[in-house]
Amino acid sequence: MKKPPLIATLEAGGTKMVAGLATGPDGILAREKIATTNPEETMGRLVEFFKIAVGEYGEVDALAVGTFGPADLNEKSPTYGCILETPKAGWAGTDLLGPLRRVLGGVPAVFETDVNAALFGEATWGAAQGLENAAYFTVGTGIGGGILINGELVHGVGHPEMGHMRVSRHAEDGYAGCCPFHQDCLEGLASGPALEERWKKGAEEWSPDHVAWEIEADYLAQACLNVLMIAPPERIILGGGVMHQAQLFSLVRARLAELLNGYLAYEELRGDLGSFIVPPSLGDDAGLLGCVALGQRFILPPQAR
C-alpha cells in the first residue's frame, strides 16, 4: 500500500501559531505551539520547526495554512499568501506562505482562513462529515465564519467575514456594541468582549438562565438564519469560547425555530434542530486536521479523495 501523503500544517492565530506534520487523525507526527509575537521572530521559529520536522520525518507532500484574517487567498494576486490590513501590529503585509513553502522545497500549498480550514476538518472527519454544504461560526474574542458550498470552501472578493453581518437589535438590549468598524454588527453585539462589556463581569459568573444568554442566542440565531437564507447549509457548527456555555445550543435552536416560523419545510429543519445546529467535534485538533484534509485534497486526484 502506498504511504499516505505527509502534510505540513499551520494554524496561524493572532495569539499563537500551531505548526504540525500529519497524515490524518491517527497520524499527527509532530506539533508545536509558537507565540505570535513579531513576524521576524515567529516566522523564524516556524521555519526552524519545519526544517527539523522534515529532517526527522522526510519530505512533505504539501503545505496547508489556515490563517487569521484578513488574508489574501487569491492565487492570482501579487500579495497571495500574505496577511492584509490588520490591527495586529507589524503583521500587515507579512508573507506567511512564501517562506514556509520555500523551506519545504516549493511543495504545493493551500492558503485558507482559519475558520474555513476548521470547517473543512469538521466536514472531513468531524461534525459535518460527508456534507457538501455546511457553515461554521467561531464565537469568541471575535466572530468568524466559514462556509462550504457544493463541497468547496467559499471565497469571492476576499473571504467570508460573517462576524460583520448586521443583525436586528434585541428589544431588551441597550448595549451600543463594540466593533470598531460597525459598532453593532454581529461581532459588536455577540462576541465575548461584547458580553463582558455589556454585563460588566465574566460569563462564568452568570447563571445559565441569565438574560445575557437569551440575548446572545437571539443574535446567533439571526446569524444562522441569514446564512440559511443566503447560502443554505445542511448543518451549522457553532464553536469558540462563548459556545462553551452549553445551554446556548438549545437557546439558539429554539430561537431559530421561532424566527423561521415554519418557513422552509426541509427535513434538516424539522424537529428541535438538534442536528442542524451542533458543536464542533474535533476540539483542539480541528484546525490542524482541517489543514491536513485541505492538503490531501489538493494533491490527490479527484477519484482518490
Q: Is 254 in the site for its own copies (CB under 8 A)?
A: no
Between 106 and 156, name the residue whose CB sits nearer to its own copies.
156
Q: Single out the residue of 267, 185, 258, 247 nearest to residue 225, CA to CA.
A: 258
Least distance from C-beta 176 to its own copies, angstroms? Answer: 14
Q: Is 149 in the site for its own copies (CB under 8 A)?
A: yes
In angstroms, how far is CA 94 from the centroid of its own chain? 20
Q: Single out the residue of 273, 235, 236 nearest to residue 254, CA to CA.
A: 273
When binding is defined by CB under 8 A, the residue of 164, 175, 254, 300 that contacts its own copies is 164
What is the CB neighbour count within 10 angstroms for residue 238?
A: 22
Q: Are 119 and 66 in contact (CB under 8 A)?
A: no
Least distance from C-beta 226 to its own copies, angstroms? Answer: 4
What is the CB neighbour count within 10 angstroms for residue 131?
A: 15
Q: Is 225 in the site for its own copies (CB under 8 A)?
A: yes
When binding is defined by CB under 8 A, the residue of 28, 30, 47, 154 that contacts its own copies is 154
Q: Is 158 in the site for its own copies (CB under 8 A)?
A: yes
When binding is defined by CB under 8 A, the residue of 45, 182, 210, 297 that contacts its own copies is 182
Q: Single out the residue of 177, 139, 168 nearest to residue 277, CA to CA.
A: 139
3-state secondary structure of 46: helix
Q: Are 81 and 72 in contact (CB under 8 A)?
A: yes
**DSSP assignment string, 180-219:** TTTBSBHHHHHSHHHHHHHHSS-GGGS-TTSHHHHHHHHH
Between 37 and 77, name the residue whose CB sits nearer to its own copies.
77
Q: Is 282 in the site for its own copies (CB under 8 A)?
A: no
Q: Is 264 in the site for its own copies (CB under 8 A)?
A: yes
Q: Is 230 in the site for its own copies (CB under 8 A)?
A: yes
Q: Is 70 in the site for its own copies (CB under 8 A)?
A: yes
Least distance from C-beta 259 to its own copies, angstroms? Answer: 7
Region from 51-59, 100-108, 261-269, 290-298 binding its own copies, contact rule CB under 8 A: 261-269
What does the alpha-carbon distance between residue 170 and residue 204 come to, in Å, rounded to a whole number?
A: 22
Least distance from C-beta 166 to its own copies, angstroms? Answer: 5
Interacting residues toward its own copies by CB under 8 A = 70, 84-85, 132-133, 145, 147, 149-150, 152, 154-169, 181-182, 184, 222, 225-234, 259-266, 268-269
